Amino acid sequence: MSIAGNYLKRFADGSRLINGEPAENLKYIVVIPAYNESGLYRSLDSLFHTHPADAPIEILVVVNWAEGAPVQVKELNTSLYHEYRRRYGNAERSDMRFHFILAGDLPRRFAGAGLARKIGMDEAIRRFEAAGTRDGILFSFDADTLCEPGYFAAIAGHFNTHPDTSGCTIWFEHPLSGTEFKAGVYRAVTYYELHMRYYLRGLRSTGHPNVYHTVGSAFAVRAGDYCRQGGMNRKKAGEDFYFLQKLFDTGQFSECNTTTVFPSPRPSDRVIFGTGPAVSEYLSSHREPLSFNPQSFGFIRTFLDRAGNLYKADEKDYDHFLSEQHTIMREFLRDNNFRIVVNEINGNASTPESFMKRLLRWFNMFRMLKFLNHCKRDFPQIPVTEASRKLLLNEGIETGTVEAEELLVLYRKLERGNRP
């Protein structure tokens, strides 16, 4: 049985949802969850007007709502579903087809972007399997996102030139000005994206090799690796973070910075964290958001710098390692049963390299985030612009008193240049 066939048998929800047969050499499928998305047209038009790709493309839109949703929500979603099908069902582009899945009354316990994305991605795997495709690429996109015309060509080129990569993040930029939203929205999203890039740069300053953005509208993954990792989860929010973390841990992830997607800065309360809630929070408080204290990243760097000494370590070696850590790191390691973890890793590692690979999987982005939250007690968060300036100053980059937008532009430039 193929990897896809085995995955569909073990993990996929439901059965085939699209009746039409896929193109024989189908290679690219974009999955978009949509809930009350009257503005989805802009996103679909953006994809429709991309440059031709080297193989057929399908766009799968999952129009969804939870059981018990208000009648007006069901009626609007159903109306939009039929309108989307009329408008794009016979779109005049030979290499691109649009499909719309109506997923109504999803179990309230799971209903949300995670389950909708999983429904679409599992159906994409069925489409690839039906087409006999063994090297398909899944794209994760959102209903309020736009892309550059070279979107498909750039990402296809990235996978071709990186044959060992399991997946990649795609360069993203929120709009920082315009007439679609009020000035406060653009200021809020400037702060939020600055936090995202500051956070990523801080984590990378620790020396951890498997650190990337986790943006649901800006990643792609090989279909086979999607199946190997058990597919998308059904979390109401953060589904992208938890799924991508499994790919990061393989050490075979990468970045595609040769094209750009543009997520919307709109406020939203549909999920508990992310762009929408961050913008909404700023609009209600008008206070500059806080971010992690730069000193906290230094504790992680010290931990990782010394961690290799724990390979085949005895009690004396372990105690010496702890003595080199800051008190707050020692507390965290104790609370997370680190001594037991080290013993287990050593029991399964035959070389220093395999030891560090396993340890990095344990101390991954998820656990680093938990540590940074642990640090807030003794090293309180500070305004994101102050944190961003201090981190760069630690690298010898003087920014003076520039404001958030200028800082963000600088962070974008540094990040895109550092990781081609």
pLDDT tens-digit map of 130-148? 999 989 999 999 999 999 9
SS (H, E, C) the chain: CCHHHHHHHHCCCCCCCCCCCCCCCCCEEEEEEECCCCCHHHHHHHHHCCCCCCCCEEEEEEEEEECCCCHHHHHHHHHHHHHHHHHHCCCCCCCEEEEEEEEEEECCCCCCHHHHHHHHHHHHHHHHHHHCCCCCEEEECCCCCEECCCHHHHHHHHHHHCCCCCEEEEEECCCCCCCCCCHHHHHHHHHHHHHHHHHHHHHHCCCCCCCCCCCCCCEEEEHHHHHHCCCCCCCCCCHHHHHHHHHHCCCCEEEEEEEEEECCCCCCCCCCCCHHHHHHHHHHHCCCCEECCHHHHHHHHHHHHHHHHHCCCCHHHHHHHHHCCCHHHHHHHHHCCHHHHHHHHHHCCCCHHHHHHHHHHHCCHHHHHHHHHHHCCCCCCEEHHHHHHHHHHHCCCCCCCCCHHHHHHHHHHHHHHHCC
At residue 276, the pLDDT reads 66
Q: What is the pLDDT of residue 236?
A: 59
Q: What pLDDT sits at residue 420?
A: 32
pLDDT in tens, 73-93: 899 999 999 999 999 988 778
Q: What residues does each domain of the chain span?
A: 3-266, 294-375
Superfamily of domain 3-266: Spore Coat Polysaccharide Biosynthesis Protein SpsA; Chain A (3.90.550.10)
State the pLDDT at residue 242: 87
pTM above 0.75, yes or no: yes
**Which residues, given as ranges, of the chain have pLDDT below 50?**
419-420
What's the pLDDT score for residue 270? 58
